[in-house]
Amino acid sequence: MQVTPRALLGIIRLSQAVACLHFRNIIHKEDIDEALRLIASCTNSIMNETIQVGGNSFIKIDLRNCDPISDIFKILKELFMKYKSFTLKVSTIEKEISAQGYTKEEMEECLTSYISISALEYDTETKEIHYLGKLPFR
């Protein structure tokens, strides 16, 4: 895959922004990983192609929802909204995530990713996930 100078500059700027969110002046590898994940997530969310396969035949390919981590986080936010709470039991989250066809491993990967960037917090004593962002119900 060819990467343009403009794309590299975008990755650097996004990485700087992620580092700033953590009050750091130095970019860490995790900041670059999050910038790349954000770019991939944004790209996937707008990709919805129609391809001509011959003559007048067209097939529509929906390339959205290619990132289970982002999809699971969206489900998490919806759960926090549904319960009007910033705290949910892991068991409640796991039931909803598995009901929507995702694996426990994908859920754990999502939680780990968002805990690492301080969007979520895990309480080991109560086995609860705390959402650290803003929700419109408060």
100 with 124, same domain: the answer is yes
Which residues are registered as beta bridge partners of 112?
none
First vs last C-alpha separation in the chain: 44
Pick from 80, 118, 79: which is nearest to 100 by CA?
Answer: 79
Q: Give 1-42 pLDDT, tens digit per residue.
A: 567 888 889 999 999 999 998 899 999 999 998 988 888 777
What b/e sequence results for 2-29 when a residue is b if at least 16 CB atoms lie within 10 Å of its CB, and e otherwise?
Answer: eeeeeeeeebeebbbebbeeeeeeebee
pLDDT band at 64 (very low <50, low <70, confident <90, very high): very low
Is residue 56 helix, strand or coil? coil
Q: Confirm if 107 and 120 have CB atoms less than 8 A apart.
A: no
CATH number of the domain to which 76 belongs: 1.10.10
Q: Is the pTM of this model over 0.75?
A: no
- Mean pLDDT throughout 52-68? 60
Q: Confirm if 25 and 19 have CB atoms less than 8 A apart.
A: yes
50 with 78, same domain: the answer is no
Residue 93 covered by a domain? yes
Is residue 83 helix, strand or coil? coil
Residue 76 covered by a domain? yes
Max CA separation in the chain (angstroms): 62
24 with 77, same domain: the answer is no
Residue whose token pair is 């892991």: 90
